[in-house]
Structure 1
Amino acid sequence: MVSLPRPHGIDELLARAREGLTRLTAHQAQAAAAKGALLVDIRYAALRDRDGTIPGALVVERNELEWRLDPQCPHRLPEAVDHDITPIVICNEGYASSLAAVSLQALGLHRATDLAGGFQSWRAAGLPVTAPSELRGEVHGGS
């Protein structure tokens, strides 16, 4: 009988993923973006519609992330110029982004990391957010 390896739970998998990351606070991520790092928002549309977005962040759905940021892929974004870019992955609360950042590291994007606490930590830090109404082009005027 072949012995299968013990399965890992998600908490263990997440802890292992984070061992290889230098996770950033919201203010550190903002400073890194000012120096050329790419803020990459992987939240799904319903969350962006509900909460807004970070100005200047690239919106890349999670299921397309590796294809869009791999410098060797013909479907890459123009910003994915080489393996030395610094993608800072942002999810809603900072869980899925850790796993996604490790996936990018496996592609050779050795500077990939994520935002601890995700979009919610960015907003809680009082950093700029484009409101959902601005995303839809709505204008709310006073009476």
Structure 2
Amino acid sequence: MGIEETLNRARSGLARLDPVAAYAASQDEATFIVDTRPEFQRREAGEIAGAIVIERNHLEWRLDPSSAARIPQAVDANIRWIVLCEGGYSSSLAADSLRQLGLHRSTDVIGGFNAWRAAGLPIVHPESASQPRFGGVSPSS
């Protein structure tokens, strides 16, 4: 099976959101946008205000409520995680992985950050990119 088939299979189980719907959904206190883009992309293009930054290689450990390395917001499986990457490809695979962990409300943003920016949704340009959230554990965990 190739990557396109893998991606299509992952997306078939997601209720993907366009950027405007993702922004609206993020106003709910049990919903969080998770930005998985690497620091260089966030530094160059900006960030989504209020998004939780977790680079892709730590995602499952930070969002699994049973993980010792979870972030404080990862309290149970009913949290809605809306994953965002640069173009909406790796975020689909990431959201599918979260669903496999039992985080059944996880989804992603169609078109990723590029579509978010094109929709004119809020972006901030901090002096330095936000650091990933580690939930009180060391980044090397």
TM-score (norm 2): 0.89
Cα deviation for residue 35 of structure 1 reads 1.3
Structure 2 equivalent of residue 56 of structure 1: 50
Q: Which one of the candidate residues 7, 11, 17 is aligned to 2:4?
A: 11
Query: How do 1:64-103 residues align onto structure 2 when only pairs under 5 Å count?
Result: 64-103=58-97
1:89-121 CA distances to partner (integer Å, 9 max, x unpaired)? 000000000000000001100000000000111
Structure 1 equivalent of residue 21 of structure 2: 28
Query: How do 1:33-52 residues align onto structure 2 when only pairs under 5 Å count?
Result: 33-36=26-29, 37-52=31-46
Of all paired residues, the percent bearing the same amino acid is 53
1:20-70 CA distances to partner (integer Å, 9 max, x unpaired)? 001001110011100121100000111001101000000001000000000
Contact kept in structure 2, 1:71 and 1:82, CA below 8 Å: yes
Partners of 2:104 and 2:110 in 1: CA distance: 18
Partners of 2:66 and 2:124 in 1: CA distance: 32
Letter in 2 for 1:66: E
Structure 2 equivalent of residue 4 of structure 1: none
Partners of 2:70 and 2:8 in 1: CA distance: 29
TM-score (norm 1): 0.87
Which runs of 5 or more residues in structure 2 are unaligned?
Answer: 130-141
CA RMSD of aligned residues (A): 1.0
Contact kept in structure 2, 1:52 and 1:135, CA below 8 Å: no
Cα deviation for residue 136 of structure 1 reads 2.3
| Structure 1 ranges of 4+ moved more than 2 A | 134-137
Partners of 2:71 and 2:127 in 1: CA distance: 21
Cα deviation for residue 135 of structure 1 reads 3.4
